[in-house]
Structure 1
Amino acid sequence: MRFLIRRLATGVNSSIFRVNTARHASNDAQKKEPTADNTSEMKVEEVRKNIMVEKYGGITTINIDRQTSRNSLDESTLREIEAAINAFDKDDQSKVLVFNGEGGSFCSGFDLDELGDKGYYPLRDASLRMRRHPLCDKTTIAAVSGFAVAEGFELALSCDLRVVEETAVLGCLGRRFGVPQSMLGARMLTSLMGLSQALDLIITGRLISGKEAHRMGLACKLTATGTALGEAIKLAKSLAKFPQNALMMDKIEAVSSQLNPNSEESMRDEAVMQSLLGGAIEDMKEGVKKFQAGIGRHGKFYKLTEVPLKDWELEESLEEIQVTIDKTNENPKDDKK
C-alpha cells in the first residue's frame, strides 16, 4: 500500500496524508484501522516526493525513499528533509527523530548525476540545515542499514546516536571523485573517534563495516541485518519517557563543547539552554516527588511512566545468568590422599 501511494504521489506537488496504525519492528506486523479504542497507536504518515514522515506517539521518523539510487540526495530531497526537520522542531508532541532509508540502504550521498548537471553549490546550499550541530535540540537517531556513504555517512554522523547493522557499509566514498565533506563530517568524525582514526577514513576514503564502526565508537548499538529501524524505535521510545528539558540541555552542552566552541552557534546553544532551564526545574520537582514515592529507586530505568510496553518492544531482551560451580567433589581422588 505504501508504495502504491508513493507512486500516486510522485506527480502531485502537495503532500498526501494517510492514517493507519503504528509500524512495528517486524515487517509482517498486522495493521488495523484507527478506532476510538486505539487512537493512542494512531500514526500520521506524510508522503512527499522523496521522503516519508511517520509519527507514532512522541517519535517521528524521516524515511528517505529514492531506492533506485540507494537513497541518494538531490536538491529536492534535501529541501524536503530540511522542511521535515523544521516541522519536527516545532512539534511539541514529537520528542525523538529517527532517520531511516527505505529499501535496505540508509543513504548513498549526493546524487552525482544532479551534481554533474547543476554543480556543487546548489546541493551544498540545500544541505545547510544539516550543518547545524546539534542537528536538532531534541534527540536524533540514525537507523543505519546497507550503505551510509559520502554525505549519507555525514547525515548519520549528524545524528546524536547511531544504531548500525552488522552488514552496513560506511565511509567517505566521495573521496573517489573529489567531493569534499559537505556537512562538516570531518569535524564530527574527529570529535567522535579521535584525529588518527578520523584521518584514516577521511584521507583514504576506505569503507568500514558496521562491526568496525561499532568498534571505533561510531555506533551506540550494533544490531543484526534488517533490525536497525526496529531497534532505533525501541531506543527512541526509551528516551521519549524521560523529562526532555534537562536531556536537551545536557546534550546541547556536550555537543557544543566539541563542535561549537567560541562560535555564534555556541551562543545560540547557550540561549536555548537558558530557555530550557525553567522547564527543567519543574521537571526536577516532579522527579523528586516520584523518587520520594519509590519510583526509580536503586537505579531502575523502567516504570518511570505509566505507559505499558508492547510485545515487540520486549523482543531480543537479554538476561544475565550467573552459574556457580561446586568444586568440592570435583577431584575425589585428591580427597583420599
Structure 2
Amino acid sequence: MSHVRFDVDEGICTITMDRPEVRNAVDGPMAAELHEAFLRFGEDDTLAVAVLTGAGGTFCAGADLSAVGDPERRNQLDPDGLGSGPMGPSRMEIGKPVIAAVSGHAVAGGLELALLADLRVVEEDAIFGVFCRRWGVPLIDGGTVRLPRIVGQGRALDMILTGRPVGAHEALQMGLANRVVPVGESLAVAHHIAEQIAAFPAECMKVDRASAYRQWDLPLDAALRSEGANGVPMVRSEGADGAQRFADGEGRHGTF
C-alpha cells in the first residue's frame, strides 16, 4: 500500500504524505516512496514546482519510531551520512522550487522535511519543533544545516537545544514560515503561489534559485562571480525575450 500520493496539474505536482493514522510518521518504505517522488519531480521537465503536504490535518510527526526494531520497516541509517536521508529526500539537491503546505505538526523529521522546501505556507494551528530532543534522537535529515541558514544560528539553537514548540506566528516572525493562513487553506495558498512561480520564465528562475543556495559555500567575491557567470547567459536568452516584450508594451502600468 502506497503512503505517498503524487498528483499532477498543469506543471505543478503535489506530493502528499498519506499515513494520517500515525500523523504521517515516516518509516523506511514510506521514506523510499518520498525519495522516488522527488526524483520523479526532478526528472520531469514538464513539472515546474512541487508542493509537499500531509494528509489528515498534520504535515508530518517525524520518523516512525515504532519501526526502529523492525528490519523490514526501519529507516535507512548510513554510518557515513551518505545515501538518501532516513526521511527519504532530505539529502537531495532539488533543482526546482518546492513549497511546503504545513498544517498541524511539523516536528522532528517532519520539521526537517519542511526545511527541505524553499517556501513554507503555514496554517495558524501549525506547530514546529525538534521534538526528537526528548527521545535522544538527533537531527540527521538536514535540520542542523538548513534551520540555521533559514532562521539564523541563535534562533536555530534555541529550537535545537530546547526542543520547544514553535507556533505559526512565531515561525513567521523568525522567517521559518513565509505565509500564515487560516486552518485548512495552506494547500490552496501553496498551489496559488506555485502557479505564480510556474508562470515565470523557468530557466532564469532556476538559475537565480541555484545562485541563492550556492553562495553559502563561497566567499563573497567568488559568489558574485558565480552569480554573474550563471546569469549572463540568461540575460541573452530569456532576458532578451522579456526585454523585447516589455519594449512592446507588455507589463506597463503594473499589469503582467
Bucket of the pairwise TM-score, normalised by the shorter protein: 0.7 to 0.9
- Residue 160 of structure 1, CA deviation: 0.4
The answer for the alignment partner of 1:170 in structure 2 is: 128
Report if aligned partners of 1:145, 1:164 keep a CA contact under 8 Å in 2: yes
Q: Is the 8 A contact 2:27 2:74 kept in 1?
A: no
**Are 1:56 and 2:16 counterparts?**
no
The corresponding residue for 2:250 is: 295
What letter is aligned with 1:63? T
Query: 2:59–2:104: 8 Å Cα contact kept in structure 1?
Result: yes
Matches within 5 A, 1:1-337: 10=1, 49-118=2-71, 122=76, 126-127=84-85, 129-132=89-92, 135-258=93-216, 260-261=217-218, 278=233, 281-298=236-253, 300=254, 303=256
- After superposition, the C-alpha distances for 1:60-110 in whole angstroms (9 at most, x for unaligned) are 110000111100111111111111111111111110000010110001110
Q: Do 1:246 and 1:277's aligned partners in 2 also have CA atoms closer than 8 Å?
A: no
Q: Distance in 2 between matches of 1:91 and 1:112?
A: 33
- Measured in 2, the distance between the counterparts of 1:66 and 1:120 equals 16
Q: Does the Cα contact within 8 Å between 2:27 and 2:75 map onto a contact in 1?
A: no
Displacement after TM superposition at 1:277 (Å): 6.6
- Judged with a 3 Å threshold, the aligned counterparts in structure 2 of structure 1 residues 121 and 167 are, in CA distance, closer, same or farther, namely closer
SS at match of 1:60: strand
C-alpha displacement of 1:279: 6.0
Contact kept? 1:145, 1:165, Cα under 8 Å? yes
Counterpart CA distance in 2 for 1:78 and 1:222 is 27
Counterpart CA distance in 2 for 1:126 and 1:255 is 20
Distance 1:120 1:257, change over 3 A: farther
Instruction: State the Cα distance separating 1:195 from its structure 2 match.
Output: 1.1
For residues 246 and 296 of structure 1, what CA distance do their matches in structure 2 show? 18
CA distance in 1, matches of 2:207, 2:59: 29
Per-residue deviation at 1:261? 4.4
TM-score normalised according to structure 2 size = 0.87
Name the CA distance, whole Å, in 1 between partners of 2:40 and 2:167: 33
Cα-Cα RMSD: 2.4
Give the superposition deviation at 1:117.
2.9
Identity of aligned residues (%): 36
Matched residues, number: 244
Length-normalised TM-score, structure 1: 0.67
- Structure 1 unaligned runs (5+)? 1-9, 11-48, 304-337
CA distance in 1, matches of 2:98, 2:205: 12
